[in-house]
Chain A
Amino acid sequence: MNRAYLSALIPALLLTGIASLMVGSADIPFNEVLKILFGSEQPSNHRTIVLEIRLPRMLLAVLVGAGVATSGAAIQGLFRNPLADPALIGVSGGAALFAAAYLVLGIELGISGIGLATSAFIGGLLTTWLVLEIGRRGGTISSMLLGGVAINAVALSGVGLFSYLSTDLQLRSVAFWAMGSLNGADWPSVSVACVIPVIVAAFYSRAQKLNAITLGDREAGHLGISVARLRIEIVVLTALAVGISVALCGVIAFIGLVVPHLIRLALGPNHHIVIPGSALLGGLLLLLADSFSRVLLSPAELPVGIITSLIGGPFFIYLIIQQKGRLGL
């Protein structure tokens, strides 16, 4: 039954994908989009818009949305806390800081997508480790969450500092890093993002272990699971997914928080459903948000993070109230 609902997300994603190719500063009708995708080869303005601008952007939105949402699902399971989100606990901030540092310090080396993504990954890895360590020493999950908030603030102010010092145009736009944008989408960035489905598959293959760890570390250990190893694996995978996403489109907040929740609410907490469900719905929601960001003030566009934060912030407050005493604060 749940799997049937899950597969209903696939046609929804396809339809939204096609719709996103139609809208923007120039409206392109449905038939023409199909023709450009599957038929005529005659060069035209619309053809360039669809194939070189909107299609890579659509794919990037879906891939990044899937990566961030499944990371959120996995670390919520790992931390046994529904408020863990890579953007809230500073993983994305750390990745953004290292990406910005790479741009500022690495300009002579020549900027390549891979180098940028690698340094964002290292930044994400370091901050996740720091957050885990704070949590371990603080002894509670709330100390970990609050530590993450502090690290996030430090990382984002570091990004601000780099942006202030830098002359690079893209980097000077703090909004890009802090709010996130799919503005820079092109085929090379899509090819980097193609690692994300592999990461999602790796999360999925650990679904059973994530289910076990929701019982508690000790309980999972007695079910034969090496908790320490699982923790490292999930942290590395999360840092990888978030690092790539941040390098390509900045910090996109709240997708990692909201999406796994919606899936759990609708389909239950089993990670065999939550991981693929979050991948599909994360891709769908980020694509929707990005399409709105392009249409709302057309021909100008909003950073997509403004939209995800506008929806995600109130949702976060709702969760805090709904969780009541269970946060261990």
Chain B
Amino acid sequence: MSIAITDLSYGIDGASLLSDINLNVEQGSIVAIVGPNGSGKTSLLRAASGEVVPTSGQVELNGNNVFAMHPGMRALRYGVLPQEANLDFPFTVEEVVQMGRIPHLTTMRENNSIVEEVLAEMELQDIRHRIYPTLSGGEKQRVQIGRVFCQIWGARNDACLFLDEPTAALDLAHQISLFKTIRQISNLGATVMVVLHDINLAFRFAEHVVLLSHGRVLASGTPLEVFSVENMRTAFLVEVEIFETNDPKRPFLIARE
């Protein structure tokens, strides 16, 4: 599905969090949302996923207004990973992943085979019987991502994924394997919006980057266009150096002291 955001503004209690956001996301692409703390990344994700109704502007999905969609229908194709999850009830890893199937009326057999595929994809088989609240932060995050994948797994060719800092607690190996999975899903046709803190991950995996600053789009385009020394200075107030790698489209960047 393609996502079209037009003239979107959003605020709470008079404080403006997003202003005049315009963004078109084509079906099957991976869009990274980056920006300093408090720049509106999470708000943009929440508005785009239909979770909060904006003060003004539109979010359209294949031309349909997101906020007019029935939540039960939306849940069939929309997988959303919020930033933090507090689950204190002693469900097992497997049970948490299974909850991704709640919106679907598919058979038990179909659900089970999807759960198996997702457990394998997220490398969760060995801890499938562990109790969720006893897991480490990174393990919990992989379980929650697995739950979200499980929700849209049967509709990967026509789904939307909204992930808020999915790599925050993951080790290096799991970061890479997560993005490989995300890329596979997007190659099947799913549209992915992902909030990232790690600029270099965005450099490496995103096709399109949106750089936010003070609730506005500062720059939007390919990683190479967006992550210029100037843009980084304006948004983050730091000086960066950009280094070549053997992929000319995907250099890497570090901040100077």
Residues of A within 8 A of B (CB): 77, 80-82, 208, 211-212, 214-216, 218-219, 221-226, 264, 268-270, 326
Hey, which chain B residues are within 8 Å of A270, CB to CB? 91, 95
Interface contact B86-A216, CB-CB below 8 Å: yes
Hey, which chain A residues are within 8 Å of B82, CB to CB? 216, 218-219, 222
Q: Which residue of A lies closest to B100 (CB)?
A: A223
Asked if B90 is at the interface of the complex by the 8 Å CB criterion, the answer is yes
Interface contact B85-A215, CB-CB below 8 Å: yes
Interface contact B102-A224, CB-CB below 8 Å: yes
In chain B, positions 122-139 with a C-beta closer than 8 Å to chain A are: 133
In chain B, positions 215-243 with a C-beta closer than 8 Å to chain A are: none
Residues of B within 8 A of A (CB): 49, 51, 71-76, 78-80, 82, 85-92, 95-96, 99-100, 102-103, 133, 147, 151
Interface contact B85-A208, CB-CB below 8 Å: no
Interface contact B51-A223, CB-CB below 8 Å: no
Q: A224-B72, A268-B90 are in contact. Are A211 and B51 (CB under 8 A)?
A: no
Interface contact A222-B85, CB-CB below 8 Å: no
State A63–B64 Cα separation when bound (angstroms). Answer: 50
- Contact among B71, B76, B86, B133 for A226, CB-based, below 8 A: B71
State A264–B103 Cα separation when bound (angstroms). Answer: 24
Hey, which chain A residues are within 8 Å of B86, CB to CB? 80, 216
Q: Which residue of B lies closest to A326 (CB)?
A: B88
Q: Which residue of B lies closest to A208 (CB)?
A: B102
Interface contact B91-A222, CB-CB below 8 Å: no
Interface contact A264-B51, CB-CB below 8 Å: no
Interface contact B71-A214, CB-CB below 8 Å: no
Interface contact A223-B85, CB-CB below 8 Å: no
Interface contact A214-B91, CB-CB below 8 Å: yes
Q: Which residue of A lies closest to B84 (CB)?
A: A216
User: Shortest distance in angstroms between A122's beta carbon and chain B's nearest beta carbon?
Assistant: 31
- Contact among B49, B71, B87, B96 for A224, CB-based, below 8 A: B71
User: Shortest distance in angstroms between A325's beta carbon and chain B's nearest beta carbon?
Assistant: 11
Hey, which chain A residues are within 8 Å of B102, CB to CB? 208, 211-212, 223-225
User: Shortest distance in angstroms between A327's beta carbon and chain B's nearest beta carbon?
Assistant: 9
A-B pairs with beta carbons under 8 Å apart, 30 shown: A80-B89, A82-B88, A212-B99, A214-B87, A215-B96, A215-B99, A218-B82, A219-B80, A221-B51, A221-B71, A222-B49, A222-B82, A222-B151, A223-B75, A223-B100, A223-B102, A223-B103, A224-B71, A224-B73, A224-B74, A224-B76, A224-B103, A225-B71, A264-B89, A264-B90, A268-B91, A268-B95, A269-B90, A270-B95, A326-B88
- Contact among A81, A82, A222 for B75, CB-based, below 8 A: A222
State A211–B97 Cα separation when bound (angstroms). Answer: 12
User: Shortest distance in angstroms between B102's beta carbon and chain A's nearest beta carbon?
Assistant: 5
Interface contact A211-B99, CB-CB below 8 Å: yes
Hey, which chain B residues are within 8 Å of A214, CB to CB? 87-89, 91
Interface contact A216-B85, CB-CB below 8 Å: yes
- Contact among A77, A222, A268 for B51, CB-based, below 8 A: A222
Among A77, A214, A270: residue with most chain B CB under 10 A: A214
Hey, which chain A residues are within 8 Å of B95, CB to CB? 268, 270
Q: Which residue of B lies closest to A227 (CB)?
A: B71
State A140–B95 Cα separation when bound (angstroms). Answer: 27
Hey, which chain A residues are within 8 Å of B74, CB to CB? 224
What are the 3 tightest A-B residue pairs by CB atom distance, in nearest-first order?
A: A224-B75, A224-B72, A224-B103
Q: Which residue of B lies closest to A274 (CB)?
A: B89
Q: A269-B91, A270-B95 are in contact. Are A219 and B85 (CB under 8 A)?
A: yes
Q: Can you name 14 extra interface pairs (CB under 8 A) apart from A218-B51, A222-B75, A223-B75? A: A80-B89, A211-B99, A214-B87, A216-B86, A216-B87, A218-B80, A219-B82, A221-B51, A222-B51, A222-B78, A224-B102, A224-B103, A270-B95, A326-B88
Among B89, B133, B151: residue with most chain A CB under 10 A: B89
Hey, which chain B residues are within 8 Å of A77, CB to CB? 89
State A122–B102 Cα separation when bound (angstroms). Answer: 33
User: Shortest distance in angstroms between A272's beta carbon and chain B's nearest beta carbon?
Assistant: 11
Hey, which chain B residues are within 8 Å of A224, CB to CB? 71-76, 102-103
Among A77, A216, A223, A326: residue with most chain B CB under 10 A: A223
Q: Which residue of B lies closest to A268 (CB)?
A: B90
Hey, which chain A residues are within 8 Å of B49, CB to CB? 222
Hey, which chain B residues are within 8 Å of A82, CB to CB? 88
Q: Which residue of B lies closest to A328 (CB)?
A: B86
Hey, which chain B residues are within 8 Å of A216, CB to CB? 82, 85-87
State A219–B95 Cα separation when bound (angstroms). Answer: 15
User: Shortest distance in angstroms between A103's beta carbon and chain B's nearest beta carbon?
Assistant: 40
State A222–B96 Cα separation when bound (angstroms). Answer: 14
Hey, which chain A residues are within 8 Å of B103, CB to CB? 223-224
Hey, which chain A residues are within 8 Å of B89, CB to CB? 77, 80, 214, 264, 269
Interface contact B90-A222, CB-CB below 8 Å: no
Hey, which chain B residues are within 8 Å of A221, CB to CB? 51, 71
Hey, which chain B residues are within 8 Å of A264, CB to CB? 89-90
Q: Which residue of A lies closest to B95 (CB)?
A: A270
